[in-house]
Structure 1
Amino acid sequence: MKTITDIKTELLSNKKISDLVFILWAGGAALLSYSLVYALRKPFTAASFDGLDAFGLDYKVLVTIVQILGYLIAKFVGIKLISELKKEHRMKFILASILVAELSLVLFGLLPAPYNIFAMFFNGLSLGCMWGVIFSFIEGRRTTDILASLLGISIVISSGVAKSIGLFVMNTLHVGEFWMPALIGGFALPLLALLGYTLNRLPQPTQQDIAEKSQRVTLNGKQRKELFRNFMPVLILLFVANLLLVILRDIKEDFLVKIIDMSGHSSWLFAQIDSVVTLIILALFGMMVFVKSNIKVLVILLSMVVAGTATMSFVSLNYDTLQLSTVTWLFIQSLSLYIAYLCFQSIFFDRFIACFKIKGNVGFFIVTIDFIGYTGTVLVLMFKEFFNTDINWLDFYNQMSGYVGIICTVAFSCSIVYLVQRYKKEELLRTGRAVEEKPEMLQSAFSVMPS
């Protein structure tokens, strides 16, 4: 006969297997889903569009600005939309978004330049809320740290892969710059629809998930304002720092072929470097699942971010002195930037909600920081185009990266101090309430005892 210990061991083993299967199912579907979103949005960045101007501006810069404007408007709408989106409407939203995105890419190839630029506005508009929708399937679970890490690294690896595939399609398959995005998107669309269906079939969070990570609920306008006021000091620090990080990341992604000379390197260099960065970040963030204390995870994450932004600043401001190779420089920049950026796109706000027992959802925070960040990106690109058209992209990026690193290092360090002090204060309040309630509980217990 089995002993109680044997039964407990067997149940624990079955639970671990169940968790592993769920991680592979949910995490794999989330990772592949957002990777395919990139296939609908980013391949055009592999094209240089050399010699093309539009309305007196550099063609590629204008295409980028127009797409980001659509993306930006989607983020603004998403602050309300994602905060209030109910689970039964998620799949419909995904299908509508990817169909509009691919149609816009077809129009980009079909319409003559420069008028095809406006098709990219609808591409950005249709895909701006996809991250928040995909994240809503996996948040608030015991395994969210691993699931969010898998989703988060899709940003890192997909950016390089999208560029590499774009270069391959143009250089090897000899597809033109304007039709290349539509061809890649045509392969991505049905796969993304299938993965959306897979995510929609995930089981809802269990009672144990809710106990450890708190229940996730929709937020109306009044609740969003109240939440922001309650944590305003740290949210301002995080939003401003993320504004700078998103600007830097978007410039790196969209203009990397102008920042570094690719003539002596393989078209797969981006994918190779991003793959290594992906594995490192996955290992770092994945280990957070073993840390149960939410405040400890927040401190660890912010400490890693500070280390990353400080390193990024040092390498950028000392570029001429260090004399690093292109590959080494790009690896350090990518790792430092994405550790910081992905922290807030994946784990941080899920743990933040759980730590302070916030009634809300991760989508609200992520869409908000993205809206703020992409607003900054548009302003920087427009400033560059109108006031400094003969810019040296490498010098421009290194200077921006250096100063962004310094500001973010200070902002995130202050955030650590605030969160620790806020947590200690709330713990003292909870302890005080428990002490006050204890005599009443004892009195209540005595009152029901038989005389």
Structure 2
Amino acid sequence: MRKAQWPQALYSALVVFCLYTCLFSFRKAFNVAAFDGYTLWGLDYKIILVITQVFGYMASKFYGIRFIAELGRMGRGRLILLLTGIAWFSWLVFALLPAPYNFWCLLFNGFPLGMLWGIVFSYIEGRRMTDLISAALAVSFIFGSGVSKSVALYTMNSWSVSEYWMPFVTGAVFFLPLLLFIYLVEKIPAPTEDDIAHRTVRLPMPVDARRNLLREYGPGLFLLVIIYMLVTILREVRDSFMADMWREAGESFDSSVFAQTETIISLVMLIVIASMVTVRNNFRAFSITHLIMFAGFVLSLAITVAYKQGLVDTWWWMLSIGLGLYMVYIPFNSILFERFIAAFGIAGNVGFLIYLADAFGYLGSVGVLLSKTVFRLELSWLNFYTTLVMITGAIGVVATLISLVYFKRKSR
């Protein structure tokens, strides 16, 4: 690996990390608020908000299966700015309209934001250093979520911003840095000939190419979609109701706790995923990634059993459960499909595969949130989540092992 690649890779990693951290503030900040006092159709107002945004995000992922797969390379910076601007404007309308009848604004927040990962990833895929760069991009999910919540809570506690204006104000804090990093991401050079030789050329995927890929690797991709659906459900519930679970646990917490736990997880995952750049063989890296995911499910199960028995406190459980689920979630958004395409010599792009997985992942999230709400399960979010971890974690362990065996046989 050439030393000259490192400065460019580190520059790219820093830029996409900062860019996506800014983008996350337009999506996740509102989750820190309780939004008490309102119901709609007999349902809790905050649950309506979460489901509406996730539904918009899910619809975006289904649309993105085609849109991102066929995405060109021109005008991406302007597209990022346009989509973020629509999402930010939706928070302004949300603040101006009376609750609870402003819930629909989150549909127009979630849909444009759901396109952004695929656009940003298209700047960095297909490189020998993609593992390192994508690690930085992927952990920005974790770091950005924690920082946006801490900033949001700070605006309410220190600036006396209401719950309804808080999402728009939080977006305003990150808007100027967002403009800077959109400019900088446009300066990332295209993959070199050496990159293409090692990771295959990355091309838009028309419908025939997508069908051929699914026909050839359908069973294995089906298993990966199931795994991603499970971990997306866990992540979405944790991310949306983390503050509520802290309150239900009866332990004190302040605005810094979200940044603390998510920063630690971000650093650990950055080291784990970035270290994969040292694994030159693409199929070996693909297999190791499966083992990382398997370990993540095992960690989630073990720490939840310990928490239910009172052996660890909420802070350690929240940290460990987050690390476990991100050991599964982050590889999907960084190296898993990147190495899959390179290992099997597929002329396509990562965007199609991750949007395929994302679409069904968020469909599962909507289904779980609706199930708890519509069927009025008499469980607190804390008890509901621990039960969810035990069920999905056990399924995830088995599905990950079967997926690894399938692709090993396919590689022969």
Which category describes the TM-score, using the shorter chain as reference length? over 0.9
Of the three residues 381, 386, 391, the one matched with 1:403 is 391
What is the aligned partner in structure 1 of residue 358 from structure 2? 370
Kindly provide the CA deviation profile for residues 190-219 of structure 1, in whole angstroms up to 9, marking residues without a partner as x.
322331222122111100000000000000
Match of 1:191 among 172, 177, 188: 177
* TM-score between both structures, scaled by the size of structure 2: 0.97
The Cα of 1:286 is off from its aligned counterpart by 1.0
Q: CA deviation at 1:22?
A: 0.8
Q: CA deviation at 1:315?
A: 2.5
What residue in structure 2 maps to residue 437 of structure 1?
Answer: none
Query: Which residue of the other structure, out of 239, 246, 249, is the alignment partner of 1:253?
Result: 239
Q: Structure 1: 5+ residue runs without aligned partners?
A: 1-11, 426-451
Q: Which has the higher mean CA deviation after the structures are superposed, 66-75 or 307-316? A: 307-316
Note the residue ranges of structure 2 that are not aligned, 5 or more in a row: none
Deviations 1:130-163 (A, max 9, x none): 0011000000001100000000100111111111
Greater helix proportion:
1
Amino acid at match of 2:199: K
Percent identity over paired residues: 36
Rounded to whole Å, the distance in 2 between the matches of 1:225 and 1:35 is: 34
Cα separation, 2, equivalents of 1:153 and 1:131? 12
- 1:18-45 deviations in Å (ceiling 9; x for gaps): 3222122211111111111111111000
Q: Which residue of 1 is the match for residue 320 of structure 2? A: 332
**Does the 8 Å contact 1:353/1:360 carry over to 2?**
yes
For 2:126 and 2:384, the matched residues in 1 are separated by 40
Count of paired positions: 410
Contact 2:307–2:313, Cα closer than 8 Å, also in 1:
no
Please tell me the root mean square deviation across aligned C-alpha atoms, in Å. Answer: 1.4
Tell me the distance in 2 between the aligned counterparts of 1:234 and 1:114.
43
Equivalent-residue separation in structure 2 for 1:166 and 1:187 (angstroms): 10
Q: How much has 1:324 moved relative to structure 2?
A: 0.9
Q: Spell out, residue by residue over 1:305-333, the C-alpha distance to the aligned partner (whole angstroms, 9 max, x if none).
A: 11110121232245332521111111110
* TM-score normalised by structure 1 residue count: 0.88
Which residue among 261, 265, 271 is the counterpart of 2:259?
271
- 1:225-304 equivalences under 5 Å are 225-261=211-247, 264-304=252-292
Q: Per-residue deviation at 1:356? A: 0.4
Distance in 2, matches of 1:158 and 1:105, equals: 18
**Which shows bigger deviation, 189-198 or 140-149?**
189-198
Deviation at 1:263, TM superposition (A): 5.3
Q: Which residue among 326, 333, 355 is the counterpart of 2:343? A: 355
Alignment partner for residue 385 of structure 1, among 363, 373, 380?
373
Amino acid at match of 1:21: P
Counterpart in the other structure of 1:137: 123
1:78 aligns with 2:64: yes
Residue 22 (structure 1) aligned with residue 8 (structure 2): yes
Aligned to 1:128: 114
CA distance in 1, matches of 2:85, 2:68: 19
Preserved CA contact (<8 Å) 1:314 1:402: no
**CA distance in 2: counterparts of 1:410 and 1:345, whole angstroms:** 21
Partner of 1:446: none
Amino acid at match of 2:79: F
| Structure-1 separation of matches of 2:122 and 2:90 | 26
Which stretch of the first structure deviates more once superposed, 316-325 or 351-360?
A: 316-325
List per-residue Cα deviations over 1:324-374 (Å, max 9, x = no partner). Answer: 111111111011010110011111111110000011100111111111010
Please say which structure displays the higher CA radius of gyration: 1
Q: Which amino acid aligns with 1:385?
A: T
Distance 1:343 1:206 in 2: 24
1:217-261 deviations in whole A, cap 9, x for unaligned?
000112111101110111011001111110110000001111223
Q: Which amino acid aligns with 1:251?
A: V
For 2:143 and 2:133, the matched residues in 1 are separated by 16
Q: Supply the AA of the counterpart residue of 1:279.
A: L
